[in-house]
Structures are given as C-alpha cells and as structure tokens.
Structure 1
Amino acid sequence: MATSRMFQILILSILFFSSMILAASPTYNIQSYGAKSGGKSDCSKAFLSAWGAACATTAPATIYVPPGRYLMRNVYFNGNLCKNNAITIRIDGTLVAPSDYNVIGSSGSWLKFERVTGVSIYGGTLDAQGANLWACKNSGKGCPKGSTSLAFYNSNNIRINGLVSLNSQMFHILVDGCRNANLVNVRVSAPGNSPNTDGIHVQQSSGITIMNSHVSTGDDCVSIGPGSSNLWIENLACGPGHGISIGSLGWDTNEAGVQNVTVKTATFSGTENGVRVKTWARPSNGFVRDVLFQHLVMVNVQNPVIIDQNYCPNHQNCPHQGSGVKISNVKYEDIHGTSATQVAVKFDCSKTRPCSGIRLDEVNLTFRDKPATASCSNADGTADGIVKPSSCL
C-alpha cells in the first residue's frame, strides 16, 4: 500500500514538473505575427518577429510554422543579441522563395543564421524555386550568382532533422565556421543538370555529423572545404550528383587543412564521382590527412575512387604547377560495385608533394564486361585483401 502511494506521488511529481517545463517553454506561431499561408504574402517580418520573441527569453522556446506555403524573402537570424541557447524551429509547412530569382539571387543566403547557439530545425520543406536561375546560368547570360538556401555561420550546437530542401539556387545547406552540428534525415532534391547546387557544404567547421540522408543534385552531394575536421558522414544515398568531395583545396597559399573525416555506409548511384579528393595545382600549405572511406557501394559511377591534384575546371585560371596540398593516411575499405569508366581507381597526386599512406583494403570494382583498371601518379601506399582492379600503388 505504501509502495503504491509512493508510486502515485512519483507520477504526480513527474506530471507537475513536466507541466512546469511546458509552461516555461513558450511556442511562437508565425501566424500570430501576421504570417499567412498561400505563398503570396511576404512572411519574412512575421518570422523575424517570432525569432525576436524567442530570443528575448532564456527559457527553451519553439517557433512554429503551421502547414501551408509561406513566402520568404532573405531572412537574417542574428544571434548576437539573442539570449536564448535553446530555440527549436518546428516546420510543418513549406517556406518558398520568390519566383523572381533576382529577389534573393544576389544576397548570398536565403535563410541565414549567424552566431547562434542551440538552434534546432525539425521537419519542413524549403523550396527555393531555382529552376529559372539555372536556366539563366546555363544560357550563358548575365545573371546573379544565386543564394544558398540555408546557411549557418559561426554557430554552435546546431541540429537539423527531417528537413527537405528543393531546387536551391546554389548550395542547399552551408555549414561555415561552426562547432557541433548534426544533420539527420535530410533530403536534398534538384535535377542533375542544376549548376553549383551542392547538397551540403562544410568548411572551417568541426564536429559535424551527417546521417541517414538522401541527396540528389547537380553538384557535390557533400563537399568539404578548408578548415574542416572531425566530420562523420554515415548512411548517405547520393545520386544524381558529383559524389562526396574533399575540396577543391589549395587555391590560397596559406589555407587550413582537412583532417579526421569518416565516410561510411554510403551508396552512389549514377554519379560523376564516388569519393574524391581534389586540389588545385598551385603552391599551398594545406593538407588532407586521416580520412576513412568505408562500406561504400558504387552503382555505375564514372570515377568511383579518385584523387585529383590537378583540378582545373574548363582549363581556365590554372597555373599548372605542382599542388602544395599534402595528402596522407587515406584509407579505402570495403568499396564495391560498378564503374561507368574503365579506370575505376585513379590517384593523380602532386608531383611536388606526393600522396603517402594510401591504403586499399577489400576494394572490388568492375567495369561492364572488361576488367577495370587503376591509375597512379606520385602515390605511395599499400593494398590488403581482395583489391580489384589490381593496385597500382
């Protein structure tokens, strides 16, 4: 009897404290600040008003976007004056960019968060309506560079879960100068011919995790820029797109390096590349080291495994010097599938700073009814287990 009574008291206490927590965690519905669904009325000010209200309290707060389409111009979420380190943005609807790409096309970012801490985004769809801008770019006419759909700069403890990004003008998601960010269950979708539409781009950041996500786009599914460290990418489906790319690196002489990157359990379908490291052939103090590519499936990929230290798109603005970026300790483990070209493994390393510590372990790549081949230049390393095509290291 006494035990039953104590249990009842415990349950009541839990309910009481839970209600207190809920009461202390206000929700700011953007419709309460004037936002209207339908995709025709500009809701930017309403969203910023909700952000301001959430930032004014130190208690955990939620900004809520109900079902519907909400037109958004460029929105800048500034964390400098934000008191709150626990803001959740829960999106049940779609944020849509103006149909005229010029409205946001020259600003660099459509939805920009800077110097924020503890921001979480759950669910929702971002539709940047980038098709008209891509057509402009592909035509060779003068047109704006385009905006990244969702950008985080110099921010900490970020979480994105269940977000869908459609038809970005440029990068879909950018993580720049951040610490500790988790991107989970993200879906990126844009046509394979959409230019410069990297799915997720990370640079100058540490402690970034990308998991259980699907990226279909016209550029790199995930691109990793200078100053990136401690990245974990797992259970990623990529295609169409240009694969997962470390680089391009080495454009600047004094450039931060890339280290401690793990890519595991990923599938590449019909992509231009699988896993690539690319650097400009010019002097640099940069480096790439301690990288693991593990448990990868290639399905008709043009360049399944590639290191390209003579990167030169369109053969323009390339000095044709030896790359100064030092690549070392890169391991390829359990990679299998099909190559769309006969050279399935290509290590085109720097003539001035050759690759070292390259390791192939259980790599099995085939090319139609012909044996696949490997190509090595200025690369040193080892091969273990079954390695097809035969190692050229």
Structure 2
Amino acid sequence: MESRLLSVSCFIMLFLVLVNEVGALGGGRVLDVRKFGAVGDGKSDDSKAFQDAFANACSYTGGRSVILIPKLTFMVNSAEFQGPCKGPIEFRLQGTMKAPAGMVGQENWVAFRYMDRLAVTGGGTFDGFGESAWPYNDCIKNTKCSRLPISFRLHFVNNSVIRGIRSLNSKNFHMNIFMSNNIELSGITITAPAESPNTDGIHIGNSEDIKILNSNIATGDDCISLGPGNRNILINSVKCGPGHGISIGSLGKYEGETDVSGITVRRCMLTGTDNGLRVKTWASDIELKVYNITYDDVVMNDVYNPILIEQQYCPSGGCDNSKASSVQIQDVRFNNVRGTSKSQLAVKLQCSSKYPCSNVNLTNINLTYQGPEGPGEASCSNVRGSASGIEKPKACL
C-alpha cells in the first residue's frame, strides 16, 4: 500500500512538472541551440548554431517555437534574426550570450527585425563585453569616430514581450527600439559603469504603445531616451542610476523628425543621476511638437537637475547661441516630484524664444537642496504655465 501511494505521488509530481513545463513553453516545441551545434564554452563561435535554430523556428508552421539557450555561456558574433516568420517565437535565454571583443565598425550585435509575437524571456544575460571597446569611443571629440554595436535591437517588431532579461556592459546602447508597436519590457536589468560612454539603457524611436515596467537601469548615459516619432509610451516603476536620467530627446537635429506625444513616467526613482526628468532639443530650424507629457510620483535621490527642459542643447559646445529651437513643447505635467537635488538649481525650464513652452504645470514639487549657497532655486525662461500645492523650491511660473 505504501509503495502504491509512493508511485501515485511520484506520478502526480511528474505530471505537475510536465504541465508547468508545457505552460512555460506556451505549448511550443523546443529547439535547444546545442542540437544545432552550439558548444557553450564561452570561447567557440556559436553564431551559426543560433542562426540555424532561428531559421528552423521561423519557418515552422505548426505553432510556437522556443529557441532555448541553456545555462551556459555562448560566444556569438553579430547576429541578425529577421522575419517575417510563420509562427510566434520565444527566444528563451537562460544562460549568457557574450559578444566578442572589439567589434569596432559594426552597427549591431543582436538584432530582431520584422517580427510579430516575439517573446524574449528566460532570466539570462546579454553580455556586450563593452570594456573591450569603450576606449575606441571618442565620438564627443571626433565626428568621424568608429561605430560601435548596439547590444540588442528591435526594429519593425510588433505585439511582443521582453521579460526578465539582463543586459550587461554594452559597447554602445544596450537596447534600441525602432518603428515598433505594442511592446512590453518588464523586469529588465541593465548594468554598465557610470563612466562607460554612450551606454544608453533603452532608446526608443518612431514607435507606439511601448511599456517599460518594473525595471532597474544603471548606465553611463540616459537610462531611457525617447527620440522623435514616439507616441503612447509608459515608463512605470523603473529605478534609474547611475546615468543621465530619463530623457525626451534630443530633438530637432535631423530633417524628417516627427512629433512626440503621450509620454507617461510614473512611480520611478532616480538615484545619483546627472539629470532627472529632462526634455532636450537643439536650437535649429527643424519644426516638431512635444506634447501631452506626464511625470507623476517620481523620487529623486541626490540628482543634478531633477527637473530640466533645455532647448539650447549643445553637449559638445560650439553651437550658435543666437538661434532658437523650433521644437514646440506644450501640455507638460510634473506631479508629486520629490526628494533631494544635488544642485541648487533644482528646477530649470529653459524654453525656446521662438516657440515658448505652454501649459507647463508643476504640482506638489518638493525638492530639497542642502548646500552652502542657500536653499534650492527654480529658473524659468520663455515658459507659460502654473504651479500649485507644495512649491519647493519656490516656483518661477
């Protein structure tokens, strides 16, 4: 009797394991990259095995395919995974994909293009091996600098999820999302040293309905940067720092840029960043609008420039300061922004004399500065709006 009960118990446990595994896979078939020749010793070039596994999955007409990258380290050169595919694909990264050293002059490391219903999951790591390439990044001083690859690209990708993965030490941007729609990124961890150049966490351009949720981003540049053409972007419960903050822009540099609207940053925390909530535009003749922007319930911990609109953006110097930006900013709400400023000028709204900012509202701003110069300050130029509730520093609107 005891042995029968033990057998039944073992059967139930096995059944539950199988059910959980099938559920985790979404009912799809599993393609282990090792079956396509991947070694996973961190030294051998496993690029072809990854490409072959993807080609198999992309051509499958029987439903979902799961490309499994087990808990080993796989060295992969520049990898382009391009659809359209005949069914949904889950790229389940449980181990580590590691980039080779250098890669100077390359645009991408891992890129997904023209995909629908893509899932990138598994809790694993994209290791960009950026420390091998950062010394080559002299773009601030050299306009003809060599290109370094972005670690992870989503271009023309729709209806997809990126969940629970890590990006470590990218050579350039960690993630770039372009011309994509209905993407959810959640539980993402992005890490690079504060001094690493141009290691933006997540950059988004010309995309719509993007969500970044419950993530931790520590970089040498913007934690999240939103370029032109973005609509309906939600950034919720993100921790940022070190880095340059959460930025809209820069905008107004290139012909053909389009409006930015419907941006919401909510329940975020920024710690030790160079900037906090920033909108940056170049002083140029390129016209576009930035509107319907909401920042709500944001905590600052020792942040320089916690609230910043700068429409004379010129990071390298040498710009014509007599020109005004042609980017019009309107309908911007800063609600319940609180914490500590590392600079006396906690709120700086420097708008365009050509197209002044309009309907900028500050509600319950409580930013403390403790320094020898005195209390925190706010500065406004070419801006129309209102302030209500807590005003610390005293509002300049």
Q: Would you call these one fold, judging by a TM-score over 0.5?
A: yes
Cα distance, 1:317 vs structure 2: 5.2
| 1:289-308 Cα deviation digits (max 9, x unpaired) | 00000101111111000000
- Extract unaligned runs of 5+ from structure 2: 1-14
Amino acid at match of 2:113: E
Q: Aligned ranges for residues 283-294 of structure 1 at < 5 Å? A: 283-294=285-296
3-state SS of the aligned residue for 1:175? strand
Q: Aligned ranges for residues 317-356 of structure 1 at < 5 Å? A: 318=320, 320-356=322-358
Q: Aligned ranges for residues 77-92 of structure 1 at < 5 Å? A: 77-80=81-84, 82-84=85-87, 86-92=88-94
**2:75 is equivalent to residue 33 of structure 1:** no
State the alpha-carbon separation in 2 of the partners of residues 296 and 390 from structure 1: 18
| 1:61-86 Cα deviation digits (max 9, x unpaired) | 10000111000000111113x212x1
State the alpha-carbon separation in 2 of the partners of residues 72 and 130 from structure 1: 14
State the alpha-carbon separation in 2 of the partners of residues 108 and 319 from structure 1: 33
State the alpha-carbon separation in 2 of the partners of residues 159 and 43 from structure 1: 25
Identity of aligned residues (%): 40
Amino acid at match of 1:69: T
Amino acid at match of 2:72: G
State the alpha-carbon separation in 2 of the partners of residues 294 and 386 from structure 1: 14
| 1:25-62 Cα deviation digits (max 9, x unpaired) | 21100000000111111111101111111111131110
2:26–2:64 Cα contact (<8 Å) kept: no
3-state SS of the aligned residue for 1:193? coil
3-state SS of the aligned residue for 1:314? coil
Moved more, 68-77 or 366-375: 366-375
Distance 1:53 1:199, change over 3 A: same
- What is the number of residues matched between the two proteins? 374
What do you get for the CA RMSD once the two structures are aligned?
Answer: 2.1
Q: Aligned ranges for residues 1-393 of structure 1 at < 5 Å? A: 25-58=28-61, 59-80=63-84, 82-84=85-87, 86-99=88-101, 101=102, 104-122=103-121, 123-137=123-137, 144-316=146-318, 318=320, 320-369=322-371, 370-393=374-397
3-state SS of the aligned residue for 1:116? strand
Amino acid at match of 1:105: V
State the alpha-carbon separation in 2 of the partners of residues 21 and 33 from structure 1: 22
| 1:86-140 Cα deviation digits (max 9, x unpaired) | 11011110000112x1xx3322110011111111010210111111321232597
State the alpha-carbon separation in 2 of the partners of residues 286 and 22 from structure 1: 44
State the alpha-carbon separation in 2 of the partners of residues 46 and 174 from structure 1: 24
Cα distance, 1:366 vs structure 2: 1.1
2:177–2:203 Cα contact (<8 Å) kept: yes
TM-score norm. by structure 1 comes to: 0.91
Amino acid at match of 2:298: L
2:138–2:145 Cα contact (<8 Å) kept: no
1:282–1:320 Cα contact (<8 Å) kept: no
State the alpha-carbon separation in 2 of the partners of residues 55 and 133 from structure 1: 32
Amino acid at match of 2:378: A
3-state SS of the aligned residue for 1:311? coil
